[in-house]
Amino acid sequence: MKQTFDFLVLGGGSAGYAAARTFHEHGGRVALVDGAEELGGLCILRGCMPSKTLIYSAEVLHLAQKGSIFGFEGETPRANLATMQARKKKVIAEFSEYRKGQLEDGRFSLFRSRGTFVDANTIILADGTVLTAPKILISTGSEVKVPPLPGLSEVRYQTSDQVLDLDVIPPESVVLGGGVVACELAQFLSRVGSKVTLLQRSPRLLKEFPQAASDALQRAMIEEGIQLELGVNFKKFKQLEEEKIEVSYQQNGEAKEIVTGFLFLALGRVPSVHTLELQNAGVELLPSGHIKTNDFQQTSAPTVYGAGDCAGPHEIVHIAIKQGETVALHALGKKVKPMNYDCLLSVVFTDPQLAIVGLTVHQMKDRGIEFLTASYSFDDHGKSILMEAKHGYVCVHAEKITGRVIGAECVGKDAGELIHAMSVAVGLRAGVHDLLKADWYHPTLSEIWTYPIEDLAEEIPEVV
């Protein structure tokens, strides 16, 4: 059986749904193909929402365990993972049911199957159904990366899926990796009561973030009792008796090994595209495995688009949504701006949180932009001191001539919330003198931005 549509979407996550919704709003007939066990996508089911729900529970527990610092006594609280999981499932159910309803409300022809390319305009489903459309979007997301390390595929490792479904606290755990997922969930495991050792191949955590941000997080994690083994070279993984796993590695020329009953593999994710038969459509991949796209998300086959985690370059929900909307408008022939990441906003939900927006120092130097930078530390700020939230700093980058804010960093308590003040500034091309015209209430965490902003305003004359 063959069916024809105006637009065909593979994958019903954030990018796919945004594209399908936008195309439908302009009158197009849309087919959406999703063969996942549950509808909703990674963010809702196995990513953002479940992880942040559990991380916040662990943060509240961590604060409660520090009661003596804030002047109260009582029995030291302990984690009850069963209760945490029950709350997580309740929260996630609300989001997943809402998204499921959106996908099944009749706006799209929904096919609960997996598809492969026949050519650049044709998909065949598992049951033999053939779907055709003049434009097709690939938004199939990502999956856990299992690198070809000696013996790794032969041991019983855990992934983020299993960590997010834990109902029993492992007495100890070993985390492989030092990226966002590794750091967030390593701290979660530690705070609910597991003795955590983190093994990272890079010499620092979160290597994509500024060095100062990595340093601040490393100090906080070590202070909490997490053992960080950085700059390691994995040599061998071996399954032992009694469900134990031996990890052999080298660090600073010294051979080391560690035995664990809970090995958490968090060495990144890879695009879920290997079953799509992309070669039939002429779709090329980048060396990273991501789909190669232009600024309008078109692949090497002009009628095929890629968006979301499978395309990159940033695996972030709001970016996936923007990409999906861009795809739909471009496929419709509408006037649409190309994707631009100069205002990119990124957040890591560790404690302290890490958040950056706009251009990084490295990007500004590469582009030859003359800029000035000013920073201020949370350990010298009134509100953060009284909250015992002293780890971290804020930093603002501004153009040397105009004073326009082009980037900012925030590492500290609720950095993911605080960064939005600078996200607005970057997005609206505001200058440091503009920001000083606003009220900044005392005592708040947000007013910490005024210190670097005032320093920059003193160095940069106001343009009138």
Residue 339 forms part of a structural domain: no
Q: What is the pLDDT of residues 276-328, one digit of tens each?
A: 999 999 999 999 999 999 999 999 999 999 999 999 999 999 999 999 999 99
Domain count across the chain: 3
CATH of the domain at 372: 3.30.390.30
Q: What is the pLDDT of residue 242?
A: 85
Query: Which helix (H) or strand (E) covers residue 125, if one does?
Result: strand 122-125
Domain range for 178: 152-267
Same-domain check for residues 316 and 304 = yes
69 CB-near residues (< 8 Å, 6+ apart): 388
CATH of the domain at 256: 3.50.50.60
Same-domain check for residues 358 and 307 = no
Residue 340 forms part of a structural domain: no
Same-domain check for residues 207 and 307 = no
Per DSSP, the residues of 184-201 read HHHHHHHHTT-EEEEEES
Same-domain check for residues 156 and 248 = yes
The closest alpha carbon to 374, from 347, 401, 409, belongs to 409
Q: What is the pLDDT of residues 55-102, one digit of tens each?
A: 999 999 999 999 899 999 888 899 999 999 999 999 998 888 888 898
Same-domain check for residues 8 and 138 = yes
- Tell me whether the omega of the peptide bond preceding residue 287 falls within 30 degrees of 0, making it cis: no
Residue 338 forms part of a structural domain: no
Domain boundary among 235, 267, 299: 267
Tens of each residue's pLDDT in the chain, 464 residues: 899 999 999 999 999 999 999 999 999 999 999 998 888 777 888 888 999 999 999 999 999 999 899 999 888 899 999 999 999 999 998 888 888 898 889 999 999 999 999 999 999 999 999 999 999 999 999 999 999 999 999 999 999 999 999 999 999 999 999 999 999 999 999 999 999 999 999 999 999 999 999 999 999 999 999 999 999 999 999 999 889 999 999 999 999 999 999 999 999 999 999 999 999 999 999 999 999 999 999 999 999 999 999 999 999 999 999 999 999 999 999 999 999 999 999 999 999 999 999 999 999 999 999 999 999 999 999 999 999 999 999 999 999 999 999 999 999 999 999 999 999 999 999 999 999 999 999 999 999 999 999 999 999 998 77
Q: What is the pLDDT of residue 147?
A: 94
Same-domain check for residues 179 and 119 = no
Per DSSP, the residues of 128-175 read S-EEE-S-EEE---EEE-----TTGGGS--B-HHHHTT--S--SEEEE
Same-domain check for residues 136 and 162 = no
Residue 233 forms part of a structural domain: yes
